[in-house]
Amino acid sequence: MELYEFKAFELSQMLNKKQISSVDLVSSFVNRIKTVDDKLNSFITLCAESALKQAETVDRKRLKGETLSLLAGIPIGIKDNISVKDVRMTCGSKMLENYIAPYDATVVERLKNADSVIIGKMNMDEFAMGSSTQTSYFGACRNPYDISRVAGGSSGGCAAAVSADMIPFALGSDTGGSIRQPSSFCGTVGFKSTYGAVSRYGLTAFASSFDQVGPICKCVKDTAMLFDVIAGCDNRDSTSADKHYGICFANLCDDVRGLKIGVPWELFESISQPDVFTGFKKSLKVFQDLGAQILDITIENTKFALPAYYVISSAEASSNLARFDGVRYGYRADNCTDLNDMYIKSRSQGFGDECKRRIMLGTFVLSAGYYDAYYKKAVSAAKLIADSLNSLFEKVDIIAMPTSPETAFSVGDKLDNPVKMYQSDMFTIFANLAGVPAISVPCGADKIGLPIGLQLMANSFCEQTLLNAAFSFENAFDGIQKPRL
C-alpha cells in the first residue's frame, strides 16, 4: 500500500511512531498529485515547495521530542475561498486570479498551530456558487470515478482530490450543500457543523448567514479529528458560538441502540434515480440492524426550501460581492473612461455568468418595492422550515435522507439550465436554513459504480451524536470501491 492511500488518523499514528517522516509523506502526495491531477483538475494552486519546507520543520520538532498534535506533519488541501497568508486565493474567479491573501483565516491559523501542512488550494465553483465545479474560471473539476462526470460542487476540488488520494483530507465550505454534495458524488465524508461552530473569519463571504467551513475526509474518524482542531469560538467572527465540544475524535462511539432516526418519506417523490432511493433504504436497514429506531416524520413547508434558499443566498451574495469593484481587490479592466465605466467593465469582465446571475437576482429581491414581496417572504419561509426542523429534533435524534437526488452527472449537463442545477441542493439546504449540523457518508453505488451519499442531520450543537451515528454506520457498512485512476 502506498503512503497516500492511508487515512489521516493512520498516518498520524505512523508519524507519531516515527515509522515515516512528514517529508516522506508530503513527497508521496506531491508525486501522486503530479501523476493524476492532470485528469481531474482538482488543484488551483499547488504549494509543493512550502509544504516540503514545513514538513521538514515538523520532522525536526518530532525528532527533538516535542509533543505534537494529531494533525502534525499531515498535508491538507484548502478550498480556494479560504485565506492562507501569502498564498494566492482565487475563489475560482478571474476577479481574484492574482490575489495574494495577506492573512490567515482562523481555521488556517488553527491548522498551522497544529503543525498541519498546507499542500495547496483546491478548485471550486466561482465564489462557491454551484453544484458541479464547472463554473470555475480555472476549468471544471472531474470526478475520479468517471472523468466524464462532474465532481459535484462547489467544493468539488476538495472532494475529488481526497477521493483520488491526492490529499488525505481537506477543508471546504458549505452554504447550501457544497461540502456534502461533492462528497456524495466522490465517495468521501463531508461534514458541515452547526452555524457558528467554526469561525468564518478569512472565508470569502458568499451568503454569510449560511456559510460554514468544514472537513472533507476519507472516513468519520478523520472528520472528527479535523473538526476538533477547527471548531471553537473566535472573537473575530461575530456569529461564532461560545461552545466547547470536548474532543469529538476521542469520544467517537459506535453504539446507536435506541437512537431515534426520523425519515421524511414524502420528500423522496422528487428522486429521479431509483438507485439512490434503494441505497438510502439499505442504509436505514443497517441502522435498524444496529438497534436504531426508524420513525416517520414530516418536515413542514419543504416546497419553499429551495426558493427561500436561492432568494436569501443571492441577496446576501449581491451585497457581499459588491466589494469586488476593481478598486480594492482583484481584477481591474483597462481603458476605462471614468469611475462608473471602470466598475462596470471590471465587474462585467471579472465575474462569470453564474455570479452575475446571482448578483442580479439578489439585487432585484433586495430592491425597494420588491423587498417585501421576495426577500422578506423568503426569510419568513426559511424561519418556518427551521422551526419545523427544530421541533422535530424534540422527537428524534437524527434526520436521515439521501445527500443528493442523483449520482454524479456528466460534465456539461445542467449548465444551460440553472434551475435544474439548483435542484441538486434540494436535500442539503435544510441544514443550512436551520443552521444545524449535517454529514454525508458514502452508502453505496449506483448501477455504473458511482457513489451514493447518505445524509444525516442532528440538532444544533449535537455534533458528537451526529458523528457517532455516522461512525456506527461506516463501521457496519461494507464501504464502496475506490476509484481507479
Please say if 79 is a catalytic residue.
yes
> How far from 475 is each of 246, 255, 401, 467, 478, CA to CA, in Å?
23, 10, 19, 12, 8
Residue 126 binds to ligand GLN (criterion: CB under 6 A): no
Binding mask 287-326 for ligand GLN (x = CB under 6 A): --------------------------x-------------
Minimum CB separation of residue 129 from ligand GLN in Å reads 5
Nearer to ligand GLN, 214 or 279 (CB): 214
User: Longest C-alpha distance within the chain, in Å?
Assistant: 70
Binding mask 144-163 for ligand GLN (x = CB under 6 A): ----------x---------
Which span (2-10, 171-179, 265-273, 397-405) binds ligand GLN, by CB under 6 A? 171-179
Q: Exactly one of 22, 69, 116, 154 is catalytic; which is it?
A: 154
**Closest to 283 in 3D by CA, of 301, 298, 268:** 268
Helices and strands, number each (H, E), in the chain? 15, 13
Sign of CA dihedral 166, 170, 175, 181: positive
Minimum CB separation of residue 359 from ligand GLN in Å reads 13
**Closest to 411 in 3D by CA, of 127, 145, 147, 136:** 147
Q: Which of residues 390-429 bind ligand GLN (CB under 6 A)?
A: 425
Please say if 346 is a catalytic residue.
no
Answer for the pair 112, 49: CB distance below 8 angstroms, yes or no: no
Residue 131 binds to ligand GLN (criterion: CB under 6 A): yes
Residue 177 binds to ligand GLN (criterion: CB under 6 A): yes
Which span (122-130, 232-240, 412-420, 450-458) binds ligand GLN, by CB under 6 A? 122-130
Residue 174 binds to ligand GLN (criterion: CB under 6 A): yes
What CA–CA distance (Å, rounded) separates 75 from 53?
12
Answer for the pair 29, 4: CB distance below 8 angstroms, yes or no: yes
Residue 262 binds to ligand GLN (criterion: CB under 6 A): no
Neighbour-count burial of 295, counting CB atoms closer than 10 A to its CB (0-12 exposed, 13-18 middle, 19+ buried):
middle
Q: Which of residues 46-105 bind ligand GLN (CB under 6 A)?
A: none
What CA–CA distance (Å, rounded) separates 78 from 90?
12
| DSSP 8-state assignment for residue 302 | G
Please say if 178 is a catalytic residue.
yes
- Any residues with CB less than 8 A from the CB of 406 and at least 6 apart, and which? 271, 272, 273, 276, 424
Task: Give the total of residues touching ligand GLN (CB under 6 A).
Answer: 14
Residue 178 binds to ligand GLN (criterion: CB under 6 A): yes
Judged by CB under 6 A, which of 73, 77, 120, 130 binds ligand GLN?
Answer: 130
Nearer to ligand GLN, 176 or 451 (CB): 176
Nearer to ligand GLN, 174 or 234 (CB): 174
Answer for the pair 168, 6: CB distance below 8 angstroms, yes or no: yes
Q: Which residues are catalytic?
A: 79, 154, 178
Summarize as ranges the residues that interact with ligand GLN (CB under 6 A): 128-131, 154, 173-178, 206, 313, 425
